[in-house]
Structure 1
Amino acid sequence: MSQHQNNLDLLNNLIEKAQKLGAESADAVLVQGTSLSLSQRLGKPENLERSEGQDMGLRVFIGKRQAIVSSSDFNADALDELAQRCVDMARVVPEDPYCGLADPDQLATEFPDVEGYDPYEPDEAQLIDWATKAEESARAVEGVTNSEGAEASWGRHDVAIAASNGLSHAYSSSGCSISASVLAGSGTEMERDYEYTSAVFAQDLDKPEEVGLKAGEKAVARLNPRKVETQQVPIIYSTRVSNGILGHLTGAINGNSVARGTSFLKDRMDERIFGSKITIVDDPHRKRGLRSKPIDGEGLANQKREIIKDGVLNSWILDLRSARQLGLESTGHAARGTGSPPSPSTTNFYMEAGEHSLKEMIGAIKQGFYVTELIGMGVNTVTGDYSRGAAGFWIENGEIVYPVSELTIAGNLKDMFMNLTPADDLEFKYGTNAPSLRIDGLTVAGQSS
């Protein structure tokens, strides 16, 4: 019998225990994980860790009350105690009129292969090789004077989910990464930067030498930053930080925020909130995507959706609870762990690429700011007001001329969304991805004139 089937049997037995103790319905999640990580600095390994863990969470319902208890102890006596404690809690907690499992006819009947698991498991020697090559490549860049180190890691997770409504499914996921961080300059004039690569399949990683080279070059490029005066100029968000703009969008269209009335987009469904050429997609079935999964966390079918189409907001991000609260249907976006109820979350979320290259975008700007780093989280999701610290490079007459730091970008997300233009350099490097983005109408606060 496979490990997946063993895990499902364990969950179904736990659910049966809870029902015999008085639960009207129940679901359970089991996660087992194994990870290996290596960090080194100046050519010497500093930390090598291997960890293995498991956790199981049971959620039971009695009427409109729900309770959740989790445990890492899978012994029979411990699971008996877990089921009893969870049922006891469900009898006394406050009612939640929107909680509950999916109806059986809502459950997914197909489970697509998202290529989310790589059977290859690198050993310690492989991680050391990756980290060594990355750090050596970074330190070889002229101007790099010190290293914060390099890291390489691998991990695997086995996930099983079952429920009394008939849900029973298990799958595996994996991932690995390489990173390097170095310093350039000396004394009080030092600057640091980094680069990393991550992928589901090891063969899809960038070469460690490329990771190190980029980290070194980026650190050196930041030397001797200048200050600029406060002004309103076009801003280009590099691909390293542009996904943050989409992150603010996901928070505003999350079903929980909309249901609470705490989103600046709560009344904008079916309205244009971006320019007419903007399309933003969520794709849980993207092959080898960092957040791909065959079904959502409540067992519902998930699918590729154009959340924004031609600038128009087409969908919220909903799980069952938020959908019931809004009088809508779930969009299959439930995500969950073992110790908390499901909540809405995006998967592989991205903005489609535009028509112009980054070089063309920069070339069209007489004076502007190319952002490579954002600091702080000064965003008000109720009003859309936006204020974040930033660093990067100044643009003059269509060219990057010098690094800048200690600046603040201020505006409002409603205006930013409408005045946004994507470049053609979309890469799938993160869970949320966007091409470089030009945004007009923002204020860059620097030194006083």
Structure 2
Amino acid sequence: MSQPSTRADVDACPGALRLHAAADGPLARVRVPGGRLTGAHVRVLRELAGRWGDGHVELTSRANLQLRAVRDAAAAGLAAGLEAAGLLPSRTHELVRNIAASPLGGDPAVDRLDRALCADSRLASLPGRFLFALDSGLGDVAFSADVAALPVHTHEGHPAAVAILFAGADAGLRVAPDAVVPALLAAAHAFLDERAAQRTTAVEATPGSRADAPDAGVADGRRQVAWRVRELADGPARVAARTAAALGVRPGPAAVLPRPVPREPIGLIEQPGGRVAVGALVPLGRLRPVQLRVLESAATVTVTPWRGIVLRGLTPEAARNWAAALTEAGLEVAAGSRWAGVTACAGRPGCAKSLADVRHDADAATTAGTGLPVHWVGCARGCGSPAGPHVRVEATGSGYRVRSPGGSGFAAVTEVGALVSAARKG
């Protein structure tokens, strides 16, 4: 049984309306469900970043976007620009439009889920860290989400069903493909219900407390609450049971689902119908103005959870032309790039808590791929860390500590550690 984990009941996730006070100035985060953009959206983002921010657009590990160094007086103008471009369809739900999707898929359920989520007034109270996922069946986004839809095959020759996962765990809940959106929304309601029930139980168990007391559930002066399914006591099982009851579905046996190590799409990728996609890495997830200008002429741009981009549905000739244009703009399209799997938090000077300029140091130390993703962080909080196996390079104030959470990847840790040491000596 999982143990509860609590946080202060103040959802400080930044958004497009509520900016985060970063060390280099206010930061705005723009939710982009499924990472789906148009070239017109990219143009608007470039113009807004140039007018109100530092001119760059950052990609996050949830395929959302960030504008840094936004001047305080610009908040209203920034929000108005995003709203006019269709990038802020709901002011009440803008913090909770967190929907991950397989970047090479074209699932229309992303738009349906986003619209249904924004139309549900109660779900505006979801935490800003709660994550939905629509997986194409590759397992590339399902296991890091709070609730996810993952197509599975029941038996050979039988139609596919969709597994609803809870914090990456299979509880045996299956739905038809056309029932995915209602199931995910039911799961979100079940999370809120279970969270409320566990808070009430915790308050009632405290001697002398009342559930309606002003300080009910307060510890050390701060109200405590779970923000994600895994932070609830036995969260996956309890939320799954509530969801199944709400849907009137009897769960079957849970399956052991394979968890592949996701790899960011890079290069020319064949798609159904003779079409081709182009995947490009964005070094350390930061798009410069010249790169944004190139992307403006694309019909669609998909941001990936690995801080890259994908252009889908191209003819072979168009794909080759795009690969050349992206390479010329400084994006990485060739396999074997030294930036494959390498990410970093903001570091100095953007984050006051960071103990090092991790982006500069990552650039100096990164020479080639190591077999595992490598994430550089400026402090012990580890912002933006990948969910799966990876090498963590953490600033300590006097150098870097290199390790792999979970203890795997000894060879990769040794290799990265040697590169970090060599770069520091150089």
Structure 2 length normalisation: TM-score? 0.21
- Between Structure 1 and Structure 2, the one with more strand by share is 1
- Between Structure 1 and Structure 2, the one with more helix by share is 2
Larger radius of gyration: 1
